[in-house]
Structures are given as structure tokens and as C-alpha cells.
Amino acid sequence: MKARYILSIVLVSLGLIAAILPQNQNSSLELDAKQLLNEIQVENYVISIDEMANAMINDDPEYQLIDVRSKEEYEKFSLPGAMNIPFDQLFNEEWAPYIDQVARKNVFYCNGTTLASDAWMLTRQKGYKNNYILKGGLNNWYTTIIEPDEPTLTNGQEAMYDYQARLGAKQFFTGAGAADNSSNKKKAKKPVPRRKKKMVAGGCS
């Protein structure tokens, strides 16, 4: 019953999202709701706040943060190194090399998770496999990294280890040596195009 309910939400969401996109792109959508439902339930497409913070601290080139909010929201505040691809421009030709590529993990984020999840559903539905969402978005980033809750003794050693790591991340992102938000916007990494399949010599076409 629960799976059927989620499936209905996926179908409705994809329909509404597709309606927002330009008409010439709507017609190219091929719905595969059952596959999306399976992936949604497994949640392999979610990147945790701790994983993302660690990747940012180590300047891991495997990750590319993509802010899917409006340009105005992005300019007010964004995560260091994030590039801005507003949701309604997601499939514009200029962004294609970034959205459909093979070398990096694109991590969509917004204030919460709704817009980023919609972006993931659309790109995954089109067959792109390298896109993820930041769990909880900026709201979760703030409560996890900027204002982490100190665990109690009953929470165990692992919880205390996570807390100490988050305090270190907080110092990295907000400490006296941290740059302001405008200077934190690194240039977007160059996209790596999807490899073209080689034609096999001979045989049937």
C-alpha cells in the first residue's frame, strides 16, 4: 500500500515537473516511474551532510555542488564551490555538459529537499546516472555543521566522534580564516562529456 502511494506521488510529481519545462523538452520525457520508485526507496542518490562537508574540506574533485535555487537566492548565500543552475534552466543547452557527464558526482541542493529531489527525478528519468541530492539541503547543513547538537554520554563514542568532526568542519567553514561567501564561489569545474560509443567494424548496422 505504501509503495503504491509513493508511486502515485512519483507519477504526479513527474507530470507537474514536466509541465514546467519548455514544451520541446516535455515531449522527450519517457516515464519510468517503477524504476524511480525503486531507487527512491533505496536512497542511493542521497549524499549526507557529513560526506559532503568532508569532500569540500578535502577539495575532492569527484564532487560538484549544484545550487538549483534562483540566481537571487544563490547570490545571497550558497555553499563554497557551488555553481548555480536554476531549476527552470536545468535542461538548457549551456548546462548539458555539466548535467550529463561521467566523471563527477553532481550534488543538487536547495533550502530543503523538494526542488533538488525534483531535479534528481528529472535527470534520472532521462537516464543520467551521476546526479545526487544533498540530504536535507541548506537547512540540514546549518543544523548539522554550523550549529551541531552536542551528544550526551548515552549516545556513544561514534556520536561523539561525529560531533568532533562537525566542530572541525564548522571551524573550517566559519572560522576567522574562512573567506566570505562571495570569495568562496570557486569557478565551476570543467565538464567531462559523456563518452560516445565506438562503432563496431563489420556486422549488421
Task: Dump pLDDT digits (tens) for 97-111.
Answer: 999 888 899 999 999
Upper half-sphere CA count for residue 113 (Cβ side, 13 Å): 14
Q: pLDDT band at 26, cuts 50/70/90?
A: very low
DSSP H or E segment with residue 46: strand 46-47
- Looking at the whole model, is its pTM more than 0.85? no
Task: Please give the distance of CA 56 from its chain centroid, rounded to a whole number.
Answer: 14
Task: Please give the distance of CA 58 from its chain centroid, rounded to a whole number.
Answer: 18
Q: Across residues 175-188, what is the average pLDDT?
A: 48
CATH architecture of 44-174: 3-Layer(aba) Sandwich (3.40)
DSSP H or E segment with residue 1: none
The vertex-93 CA angle with 30 and 132, nearest 5°, equals: 60
With a pLDDT cut of 70, the percent of the chain lying above it is 64
pLDDT of residue 42: 61
Q: pLDDT band at 168, cuts 50/70/90?
A: very high
pLDDT of residue 145: 96
Q: Look at residues 184, 187, 189 and name the one whose alpha carbon lies nearest to residue 79.
A: 184
Write down the mean pLDDT value for the chain. 78
Task: Dump pLDDT digits (tens) for 33-89.
Answer: 676 676 666 668 899 999 999 999 999 999 999 999 999 999 999 999 999 999 999
Residues 6+ apart with CB under 8 A from 180: none
133 forms beta bridges with 46, 108
Grid cell, residue 118, equals 525534483
**Domain range list for the chain:** 44-174
